[in-house]
Amino acid sequence: MKPRHARKLLDRYRVTDGARFTLADHQPDDRGGDLVDHGSIEDLLKAGVARLAELQTRLYADDRWSLLLVLQAMDAAGKDGTVKHVMTGINPQGVDVTAFKQPGPVDLSHGFLWRVQAHAPAAGRIAIFNRSHYEDVLVSRVHPALLDHAHLPDAARGKKFWKHRLEDIVAFEKYLTHQGTVVLKVFLNISRNEQRRRFLSRIDEPRKNWKFSAADLKERDFWDAYQDAYQHAIAGTASPDAPWFVVPADNKPFAHLIVAEAMVEALDALNLKEPSPPAEECARLAEARKTLEDEK
């Protein structure tokens, strides 16, 4: 996809100003209008992944910048599939994927950002968070009783508790950007009806049974509460330096394309180049070439 076309498409889903954000304005079945030809989605995604692989090689060689992709979504929205399809063809040596599960006793005895910091990307690498630090302003907000196990003093759980957590996330992401990490956050925005369809598919198809859990169905009862939590989380943390992309997820290939293009745009903006060797190294390379040629 040409950069100017990709930019227009991404701007449709990019959120950089939380004050103007309303989740209800973003439709899960949106497919980009006339900005994309859906007959060519597969080819566009293939080209985007190839470009991403090229940029990842430059990122690794440059060894100064890094990229963090945060994936958040309701159950069955396609986080795992997004990782699989978008990162196909990328050198696995330069990518780290962390799936954050429920925090354990050690995690809970530290601040909520403690376990996340350890998995932030090193220079030259791409890190993907499959769920992330945002679970602590989503799941915990929907189920506040979980905070009873977080070793928090009563004074810390006041009226501004959630406001403070969002401020801490903003500060953490600013810190990452100041260190050369590009932060992209994606909310795979699935509709309630499409989630129902995918749950039924997981139940009806034996090969997908392992994907379904009764806990998923229980969490579905809190749909509206989660939508409200996402509204607050995205509005409270969106910024030009760490934007959100509210990606319509009812159509999986289209969602994959948006995520791939967002990563390509971010890395392309860094103007990455393979480092050039100094003059003395060039001289040694010339000597090495002569030595190898003389072996003939």
Q: Render pLDDT for 253-287 as a digit per residue (tens, 0 to 9).
A: 999 999 999 999 999 999 998 777 777 888 888 88
Q: Which domains does the chain have, with CATH numbers?
A: 3-294 (3.40.50.300)
Listed residue (128, 243, 246) closest to 190, CA to CA: 246
Return the biggest CA–CA distance within the chain. 78
Per-residue model confidence (pLDDT) at position 273: 84
CA 142 to chain centre: 22
pLDDT, tens digit (0-9, with 9 covering 90-100), for 178-210: 999 999 999 999 999 999 999 999 999 999 999
Segments of 122-250 assigned E as strands:
126-130, 181-189, 244-248
pLDDT, position 235: 98
Q: Show the CA angle centred on residue 260, arms to residues 257 and 261, nearest 5°.
A: 85
Global pTM exceeds 0.75: yes
Q: Letter for the amino acid at 187?
A: F
- The predicted structure's pLDDT at residue 274: 78
